[in-house]
Each structure stands twice: as structure tokens, then as C-alpha cells.
Amino acid sequence: MNGLISAAFSRARVVMVALLMLLSLGAYAYVAIPKEANPEIPLPLFYVTTGLDGISPADSERLLISPLETEFASIAGLEAMEAHASEGFASVQMEFAPGSDTAEALDKVRAAADRAENELPDDAYAITINEINTALFPVITAVLSGPVPERTLNDLATTVQEELEALGGVLEVEIGGKRTEAVEVLIDPTIFQTYNLTFDELISQISRNNRLIAAGAIETGAGRIVLKVPGLIENLDDVMSMPVKVRGDTVVTFADVATIRRTFEDPTGFARIDGQPALALEVTKRSGANIIQTVDAVKERVESLRGDWPDSVQVTWLQDQSEQVENLLSDLEANVIAAVILVMIVIVFALGPRSAILVGLSIPGAFLAGVIGIWALGYTMNIVVLFSLILVVGMLVDGAIVTTELADRRLQEGDSPRDAYEYAAQRMAWPIIASTATTLSVFFPLLFWSGMVGEFMKFLPITVILTLFAALFMALIFIPVAGGVIGRRTPQSAQAKAALHHVEYGDPRRLTGISGAYVRLLHRAIVRPGATLLFAVALLLGAFGLYGQFGKGLTFFPSVEPEFMQVQIRARDNFSINERDDLVRAVESRLRDFDEIESIYARSMMSAGQGDEETIGTLQLDLIDWDERRPAEVIAGDIRGAVSDIAGIDVQVQTESGGPSAGKPVSLELTARNLADQTAAVETVREIMDRLGGFTDVTDTRPLPGVEVSILVDRAEAARYGADVSLLGQAVQLLTQGITVADYRPADTDEPVDIRVRFPAEERSLAELGNLRVPTTAGLVPISNFVTFQPTPRTGVIRRMDQRRVAFIEANVAPDVLVNDQVARLQDALAEADLPESVDYSFAGEAEDQQESMIFLAGAFIAAIGLMFVILLVQFNNFFQAFVVMSAIVFSVAGVLLGLLVTGRPFGVVMGGIGVIALAGIVVNNNIVLIDTYNDLRRAGQMPLEAALRTGAQRLRPVVLTSLTTALGLLPMVIGLNVNFFTREIVYGAPSTQWWTELSSAIAGGLTVATVLTLVVTPALLVLGERRIAFRRPQAGAEATAPAQAQT
């Protein structure tokens, strides 16, 4: 390493040009790197669907789900499989290990689906496979609304969709709430008797006369003529003129027997924003596209289109992720500038302005070099990368401070700038390399964090490793070379020169001021090393005791003030879509009185997806700025109170989930061999949760109560009338949703429009079902002659997990209640509960993620400790000194707990755990430099007591400076303070700071205590080790002379 440093000083101009190029490329990379909110996590999650019109959930389970599960279960690497069987529909969701090869997993799923398709009924829908990717979630939603006809709003939305999908950064645009167009052929049931028509004749006429037939070609002497028979339906007139029945010269057409109209499919939901009909355009960006540029381009294009719209049509922007990214970037830049200023103030005070410039230069140098590495690896600038950069700001200057401080002392002794900085770089090279290696070693195990949380957090160790590796070169190459060019000796007073003499050659105890007080304290500590060690142990135990008594407990992930909330309206009844919409409107009207809600996007629906039967509607609430309103938890409580008197519904308020976990934090899975035991277990657990208290918005997945009507066919009796099950099915379909017989492409749309035959609306009722007649060879026959109507209990949606029926119970927790505490109370209560023997239960969701994270972080901490011990052993070649450094990690935990007590924060499993691991790497740095100086003095011949005192005096300034700069870099996040130098604003408690308060509090608190212990306890332990060696040597000498005396 010394050779590389010498070569750098001999080519100083080349090094300075390289530094300038590095800064320029880093600035370009910072601007060019794609920016987004959440990391793009490769999520091998696949959603497979199929269906069969009219079948019950039980039949869907038997005929569709079971064959699919049988094939999918054999796929290697499958971690979990969840299936939903509902009326006419079946879905299977498969989850592979996050980070797995998505393409390989998709190939396996497709192969299994192909095998399963042969086992499905012939008329089942084709199997569709959808890959779920977080990168394909919308980055912004544009809601078009206004009092205009539905077709007008549809046309505007379609135009906007086409224009936005033409933008370079946009992958696709989905229109939510848009009804599909259809052509209805309405036929009165009596027509079949009047014209002696059958269902097959009517239906086949449309399908047989809607074809384009390539009739081939005729070879002639003059050439080749291609023939075709154009028979595709082009417009409604083609349908109306189509023949239905021919008798003699009379041709009966559809115009004679049917009413044909172009309309929309029956509504399955309604959408509104602030009371006006609405359509939502969900914009998804391309992978790797810059979210800020993409969203700006989308808004600009929509604004350019609005000039041709009706004045009453409005555009509302929802869930704009680019605002979050811009805020984070602004916070990052403000934190970096604040850190540079604070560091330079401290260094100016301690070393002078030139040294401050050099140390301050290492921050943007390492910072931008890290950005280059992230950009080169193909990663994006996401929330985890941004906060990782903020986290390491204070650590980037540690090596530069150590080098610059030693060079400053050499300058005061008369060395030239080049000699001083070259000596400092070479002298401190291995201690700084060892310090950096130990810091990197604690983050290295985090690269192997598996699961969803690991994929989400892996960008933290990658970013830290890249930036700290760059900081190493800044400290040993670029900063020393720059110091050799611009460095100058700072004039010193006689008192300062005397202090320097005492530190280097004289008696350190004669120092005055803070340094003198510290040396005298250190002297008392090292003459009584045993008492000093006991004090450190007592501090550690006391911190654990205080936190156990007054601490805030344990959390999984930080709770961040949300920007929006979702209100779910739930009901356990079989409401029609219009009845559901009336209930949603009732809730919506109550919420318009809340001034803290900026906009309300309401949707009523028949199905919320994922087998959720109870949700009949949702309200997306965009809140005003966080500093102008009350906390979201308080607003949520008021919302529950405002709608509590609306009968028949349960209103739940869900805030956006921070971090990798989604859904409600408390999630319990119940499996049983039979439905009765499962239902009883769900009821028991609900009673326990009500008794314990602290749970809110509790839901379960028991089937909704209701009645289904089974139409039982007497096949033998039906055959006497010339009827069968197929004929009955066609009749019932005409009475309900109709029969799709063909499609055509109108000139005014690019999408095919279905042609559907059905009875008129007045003929589609439950009463008409009993009077339904089917055309047979004997004429129109009432179906009541060969069918019976039998009411049966409604099955609802059947849920299965890993090929077993399962029920879920999910809940939020009340404000000021920790999820971990509630889960622990529920676990204890369930252990004593009298559940049916066939019932098994397990906790999923946040509790499962928390347990997995705790296990991994504990293993990562042990691995980090092992790596650090190896590095320390290589550095010192001394077991005792390696253990001394490791003891500082243990004692620093006291500071972590005290820091959390001071800030009033709970210990976070993810953020607090990462903080402790990161702290371990930071704490050892100062100990390495201090012990390296102590060993150097001992090799020079100084006694242990003198070497320990002089080590403390010499390393006091760099140890305090490195710890102070690291703590100052974290201080804004600890207290939740943002100092924006561009807008000249000081903001306290912003949501962006809440993500990392736990982590920064853990590091800052631990570092503060560890610094004091490093300066006092570490020298005392070194002296204690010397005394132990001195005690053993005389004892060993006495044992050696005893046999000789016996022989004489």
C-alpha cells in the first residue's frame, strides 16, 4: 500500500485530474440515474386464473382448483401456494423465494399449467398466467371526472391512454372503472313459440354468418385471382338484416324478432371522485425509467390534451410517487450539505480551514463515487439507496480525519506538506484499511438477507459498501495528495506548542483544559483497571434494566405518517351492485365534512379480488400536507366514529403500509380438516381478540351467509319433452347474463365488441325463472315439468393454502399499541384456548416477517462478529487485544438502549437491528486506531502506563472528531430535523425522517457511549492485559526454578 501511496504523490497532477473526473462523472451519474420510490424487487409471484360459467364455489374447487394444485405442487422451489374458488372462477397464487430466477420459475409454471389444462372441463376458460412485479405498479393515477355521458368519458380516457402509452418512459396505462361495450340482441321469450325457433337456430345464425372465408384462388391464363367470401359483421345493420327463419318466400330477420342496441355490459362497480363519475388511468413506468421525468411527461401530455375537452371534465392526480422521490432527494441533498457544513465547522475549530476543506471534500468525493457504482450496477435511486447515502455521510470522513489530523501534527513539527501528508497516509494506511474492513464486514452478511424484507433492504449494504470503499481511497490517496498540494502549517500559540510537546514527548498529565481533564481521568481509570471494567459492566446492565422498565418495546418496521388512507366498506350480505353503491355513497357523504381530506376517490364493487367477499366499496382519501393536519391515526378514529351509526356495514380505515410488508400487521391462518371445526375456531379466536382488546378493524374469511338456488334436473323426465341439461343451461343464461355468440369490430373502436343474446330486462327476474319455457320439438315446455328448485346454503369463496382449506383472521392494532405486544398476548391466549383438535394455526404477515428478520439479523450479527475478529487478529496478531475491541461492541449496546430511551422510540427489529450491526463496525474503528498507536508506543520502549496515557492524549482529537462527525451526520434524523438550504426552510418531524429515526438513534446513542468507553475503558483494559502477562511471567519463572532447587 505504501508503494501505491508513494506513486500517487509522485504523480500528483494525474491524481488531481482523476479526482476532478470522478466528481464530474459522479455528478452526471447523480442526474442520470433512474429515480423511483420503492426498489424494483424481482418478485417470483404468479397469479393463475381460469373459470367456468355458472359453477358453484364447491364445483370450482373440485373441477378447477384441484387439478391445478396437483400440477403446481410438484414445481421445485415453490414456497407457498394460495388458491381461491368462487362462483364461476378459480385462481391460484404461487410464491417462490424472492430473488429467484423469475424467468425459470415462469417456465415451470407454464409447463405445469399446460399439463393441468388437459384435466380441466372442455368448456373452461383458457388458463391465464400473470406475473406480479412491483415495478409494474402504478407510479401515478390520473382520474378523469365530470357530469358528462359515460361514452364521452370512456372516449376521453381511451384517447389519453393511447397518448400516454406513446411516451418513452410509460410501459402501459390501465383504465379502471371503464365498462366494456357490447351489442345486446334482446329477444322476447314468446318469439320462440311464434316462429317455432330453437335456441341453437337463433344462436348459430349469428356465429355462422360472421366469418371471413378465404375461398382460395383460380389460375387463369391471364393470371391468378384470389377469391374470398367477406361475411364479417361490420355494423348493427348487418346483424338486423341477418335471416332467422325462412318459410316459403318469407324471410324473418333479426329486425323482426329482436331489439338490437349497442350498450355496455351490466355494471359490476361504480367510480366517483368528489361525487362526480370518474375513470382512473393507472400509469406504469418502464423498468429503469426515471420516475420524476416520466411523471412530468405524463402531466404535460394530459395538460396539452385538456384544451379539446369539455370544461366540466376535471383531472385529479392521485398517488404521485414522484413527489415522494423529489422530497427524498431534497432531504438527501440538504442532509449532505448540512453534514459537510457541520463537519467543516468542527474541523475548522480543531484543525483549521485548509484541513476542513480537505476533510469536507471526502464527502462529495465518496458520495458521488458510490452513486457511480450504483448506476453502473444497473440499480435505481430508490428510497433505501437515498437513506443509505444519508446514513453514511458522517462515516465518510473518518479516515480523512485520521489522516489529516496526523499530517497536521507533522506539519507543526516542521515537515513539508508533501512529506507530512505522505507520512500520515503511509503511517495510518493499515489501521484505516483494517477499520474500513471491519465496517464493511458488518454490512457484508446483509447481502445474503433472503425473503421479501431482504430483497427490500439489500440496497443498504450495497450502497454502504460502495461508498465506504470509495471513502477508503479518498482518505489514503486523493485527500493526502490534495493536502500535499494545498496544505500549510497553521500558526500555533506557545500554549498549543507546549501541549503538542507534552503529548508527543513530555508528561501528558501536565496538559490543561479539556485534554488535561481527560488525561487525568484516564490516569485514574488505568491505575484501577478492574474497577473501570466493573463500571462498564454496571452501565451495560443498568441500560438493560432501564429499557426493560421504561422502554417502548419492540416493533418490526418504523411507522411513518401516511399521505393517504383507504376506507373499506364491508358488509356480510348479498347486496346488488346498486345497493352496494348506495351504502358507499352514504359513507362518502359523511367524509366530505372533513377539511383534512383533499379528495375522495370512491369505488363500489361486486368483488374486491383475492377472494374478498365482504368489501363492497373503497374510498381512497388523499390527505392534505402532514404539517397542516392532525396525525392520520386521529383522523382514522374520527372517521370510524362519524360512520358508526350507518346500519348494515363495517367501516375500516387502512393507512399505507411502510416498508416491505403489506396488509394488516396481525394475520392468523387457521387450517382444519372440516369446515365446522374451522368456523368454530374462527369464532373462538374472534372472542379472544375482543376480550384482550387493542385490536381494530378485525376481519375474517368465513363465507358470507346467504342462499343459493340449485336447479335440479330430472334427466329422464326432460328427455320425454325433448330437453336436456344443455338446453336448460341456454335458457337460464338468456335469463341472466346472456349468451355471447360472436364479436365484431366497429369502425369507431380498436377493440372487439361482443354480441350477446338475452331476454329483455323485464323478463329477467326470479319470478320469471319459475315460468321459464324452453323450445323443444313439442313446442315451448315449462321447465317446471322436469326441474325442481332447491335452496342450499351459500358456500361463498373457498380459500386454500398449500392444498388445504384455510381461514384468515386479520386486524390492525389500536393507536399507541405495539403489534409485537398484541401478537404475544394473542399467542399466550391461544395456547390456553380450547380449540378443536383438528385445527392448526400459525401467524403470518408482519409477525412472520419479524420472526424471519430476527433470526437472520442474529445470524448476520454473529457472522459480522466473526469476520471482524479475524480482521482484528490479522491486524494485531493478539487474541487479548482483539477481545478488547470486541468488548467495545458489547458495551456500545448500552448506548443504543439509552439513545432509544431519550428519543422515546421502540427498538425496531429491522432498523434497530441494522443499527446495532452498523454500530459494531463503526465502534471498532476508533479502537483499532487507538490500539495501533498503543502498540507503536510499546514497540518504542515505553511502559504500559505511559503508553496508555500518551495513546489517549494523542488519539483524543481524532477519536472525538470522527465520532462527532458521524453523530452530527445522523443528528438531523435523530431529532427529525430537515434543514433545506435551497428553500431556506427548517422542517421538524417530516415523514421522510421517520423512516430512519430508530436506526439513527441506535447508532448515535451507541456511538456516544462507545466513544467515552473507547477513550477510557479500552486503555484501562490494555493495561489490565499487561498486568496479567506480568503476573504470569514471575509465576512461570518460579515454577521453572522450583525443580532446580529440589535437585540441588
- For 842-878, write each residue's pLDDT tens digit: 888 777 777 877 888 888 888 888 888 888 888 888 8
pLDDT value for 494:
62
Mean pLDDT of 225-236: 75
Quick check: 1038 pLDDT over 50? no
CB atoms within 10 A of CB 643: 20
Domains and CATH numbers, the chain: 2-37+324-487+506-556+851-1031 (1.20.1640.10), 43-132 (3.30.70.1430), 181-264+707-793 (3.30.2090.10)
Residues above pLDDT 70, as percent of the chain: 91
Q: How far is Cα 135 from Cα 42, in angstroms, rounded to an integer?
A: 9
Mean pLDDT of 628-647: 89
CA-CA distances (angstroms) from residue 893 to 212, 835, 900, 1010?
Answer: 78, 42, 11, 8
- For 416-446, write each residue's pLDDT tens digit: 888 888 888 888 888 888 888 888 888 888 8
Quick check: 493 pLDDT over 60? no
Model confidence at 573, pLDDT cuts 50, 70, 90, reads confident
pLDDT value for 361:
84
Please name the residues in contact with 238: beta carbons below 8 A apart, sequence gap of 6 or more. 744
- For 730-757, write each residue's pLDDT tens digit: 888 888 888 888 888 887 777 788 888 8
pLDDT value for 734:
85
Q: Cα dihedral sign for 307, 308, 313, 316? A: negative
Please name the residues in contact with 128: beta carbons below 8 A apart, sequence gap of 6 or more. 48, 49, 50
* Most confident by average pLDDT, 108-122, 387-401, 1007-1021: 108-122
Quick check: 1043 pLDDT over 50? no
Model confidence at 1042, pLDDT cuts 50, 70, 90, reads very low
Quick one: 137 exposed, middle or buried, by C-beta within 10 A (0-12, 13-18, 19+)? middle
Quick check: 1033 pLDDT over 60? no
Q: Which three cell numbers stand for residue 970?
A: 445522523
pLDDT value for 64:
92
Ranking 468-477, 708-717, 967-976 by mean pLDDT, the lowest is 967-976
Mean pLDDT of 943-967: 82
Residues above pLDDT 90, as percent of the chain: 9
In 3D, which of 684, 665, 351 has the Cα closest to residue 487?
Answer: 351
Mean pLDDT of 244-269: 83
Quick check: 1039 pLDDT over 50? no
Quick check: 671 pLDDT over 70? yes
Quick check: 213 pLDDT over 80? no
pLDDT value for 373:
92
- For 64-104, write each residue's pLDDT tens digit: 999 999 999 988 888 889 898 887 889 998 988 776 777 88
The larger pLDDT score, comparing residue 359 to residue 173, is at 173
Mean pLDDT of 1025-1043: 54
Q: How far is Cα 756 from Cα 776, in angstroms, rounded to an integer?
A: 22
Mean pLDDT of 767-785: 82
Quick check: 1046 pLDDT over 70? no
Q: How far is Cα 634 from Cα 834, in angstroms, rounded to an integer?
A: 37
Model confidence at 795, pLDDT cuts 50, 70, 90, reads low
For 50, the enclosing helix (H) or strand (E) is strand 45-51
Quick check: 977 pLDDT over 50? yes
What is the residue-averaged pLDDT of the chain? 82
User: How many Å is the Cα radius of gyration of the chain?
Assistant: 37
Q: β-strand 695-700 against 650-655: which pairing, if any? A: unpaired
Q: β-strand 753-758 against 181-187: which pairing, if any? A: parallel
CB 742 within 8 A of CB 755: yes
Model confidence at 529, pLDDT cuts 50, 70, 90, reads confident
Mean pLDDT of 635-653: 89
Model pTM above 0.95: no
CB 818 within 8 A of CB 555: yes
CB 102 within 8 A of CB 131: yes
Spell out the SS3 assignment of 511-540: CCHHHHHHHHHHHHHHHCHHHHHHHHHHHH
Outline where DSSP puts E strands in 377-533.
none
